Structure 1
Amino acid sequence: MATLFMYLGAAILLILIPGPDLIFAVTQGITNGRKAGVYTAAGLALGNTVHTLAAALGLSIIVKTSPLLFTLFKIAGALYLFNLAYKSLKHRKITLVVNEGEKKGEMTLLRRGLIMNILNPKVAIFFLTFLPQFVNYDYGVVPMQMLVLGLIFIVLTALIFGALAYFAGAFSSKFLEKPRVQEGANIAAGVIFVGLGMKLLTTAP
């Protein structure tokens, strides 16, 4: 339960960090209305199912194949997370601005959000490095644990993105365009990424 609560806290904080997906959902909420924003958020969240399946299968193969491969995976994953931390801290003062987008129908936006998420290689790499932090290898059934963790992340993404896209106007002006809020979010992200990287290095199969 302690690991689960830690996972929930980390997942919520990372989902709240302003990024391309969140900006896209909020933009559609502002431009096309609340319903469109929710559909966009749903599409972005559903795209994570593909990354969850890929991460679960990939980690399972790595663990079963070779201890050396697992060690290399840990090192590569940790370096990726440290790089994310560096970028978050380096660009912590950059202000993101939400502009109006194109007028689109709800189903079109759902498909666009889905495809946008699936085709983003950074999301795939993130899932492969983030989810294993919270897998208990003593319990076995690694793919199932990954799928459950991925499902929780998908539900949280849909709920948080959906809520923020629904209240897009108020949210964007009070959060996304506030330099101090964004700087604090980026610093928090950097700290989380460093912690995850260190945890990954100490993970044993």
Structure 2
Amino acid sequence: MTVEFLITTLIVVVSPGAGALYTIAAGLGRGARASLWAALFCTLGIVPHMIAAITGLAAILHASAMAFEIIKYLGVAYLLYMAWATLRETGSLAVKADEARKPLKDMATEIILMNLLNPKLSIFFFAFLPQFVPADAPDAVPQMLQLSGVFMMMTFVVFALYGLFAAAIRNQVVSRPAIMVWMRRSFAAAFVALGAKLALTQR
């Protein structure tokens, strides 16, 4: 494992995306406990893409334009749905004064869908991991698993910090209706922007 890999991973993880946004919203909406669960589910959501990359399924997805486009636009539709739900103050992203706890299985389902409907994540792993594993390495798969584990650990730590910070300022947010309206609109706009970015991406 190289310093270059750690630095690259950190840059990728701290970059804002749907998972980070979801975790921050969970911290604001339902507190620290919910944000930590969101961070954990976002991290576990990496596993299918990691497996796809290591087994070569990402190569098939990359080669099939139709499969990529179908999954891509399903992902766009889901991000737009999350924006709509946020504006309507429904779903896991609702910011409320009480800490009504939504079942963890519902949060996990939302995050799993959000991750699975992002074909770029599989292709990212397919393109990212091999750069740090020699092509002729006899233990290439174990090395890729190790690097993936480091990527997941860093993802959890960074997302948890995002969520805990959001939870720390939660009282200041929920006690001011104007700020809550602004936050809901900002989250909705961010999901729309992410959906537009995904729609414009090419294989």
- Check 1:77–1:101 CA distance in 2 against 1; reply closer, same or farther (3 A cut): same
- For residues 8 and 171 of structure 1, what CA distance do their matches in structure 2 show? 23
Structure 2 partner of 1:8: 14
Structure 1 partner of 2:184: 182
Q: What is the Cα deviation at residue 133 of structure 1?
A: 6.0
What is the identity, as a one-letter code, of the residue corresponding to 1:63? A
TM-score, normalised to structure 1, is: 0.61
What is the identity, as a one-letter code, of the residue corresponding to 2:98? E
4+ residue stretches of structure 1 with deviation over 6 A? Answer: 1-4
Percentage of identical aligned residues: 12
- For residues 169 and 133 of structure 1, what CA distance do their matches in structure 2 show? 39
Instruction: Give 1:90-105 correspondences, 5 Å limit.
Output: 90=84, 93-95=87-89, 96-101=94-99
Q: Are 2:81 and 1:87 aligned?
A: yes
Q: Are 2:48 and 1:54 aligned?
A: yes
Residues 151-200 of structure 1 deviation map (CA, whole Å, 9 limit, x = unaligned): 4432222001112223321133358952233213311221122212432x
Residues 67-91 of structure 1 deviation map (CA, whole Å, 9 limit, x = unaligned): 6875454223211222034325545
Structure 2 partner of 1:155: 157
- For residues 176 and 7 of structure 1, what CA distance do their matches in structure 2 show? 31
- Check 1:40–1:3 CA distance in 2 against 1; reply closer, same or farther (3 A cut): closer
Q: Is the 8 A contact 2:23 2:163 kept in 1?
A: no
Structure 2 partner of 1:29: none
Structure 2 partner of 1:126: 114
What RMSD in Å do the two structures reach over aligned CA positions?
4.1
Q: Is the 8 A contact 1:14 1:189 kept in 2?
A: no
TM-score, normalised to structure 2, is: 0.62
Q: Is the 8 A contact 2:26 2:38 kept in 1?
A: yes
What is the identity, as a one-letter code, of the residue corresponding to 1:10? P
- For residues 51 and 176 of structure 1, what CA distance do their matches in structure 2 show? 34
Q: Is the 8 A contact 1:88 1:189 kept in 2?
A: yes
Residues 41-94 of structure 1 deviation map (CA, whole Å, 9 limit, x = unaligned): 333322334322222113443135x46875454223211222034325545643
How many pairs are equivalent? Answer: 178
Secondary structure at the residue paired with 2:76? Answer: helix
Secondary structure at the residue paired with 1:10? Answer: coil
Q: Is the 8 A contact 1:89 1:186 kept in 2?
A: yes
What is the identity, as a one-letter code, of the residue corresponding to 2:88? I
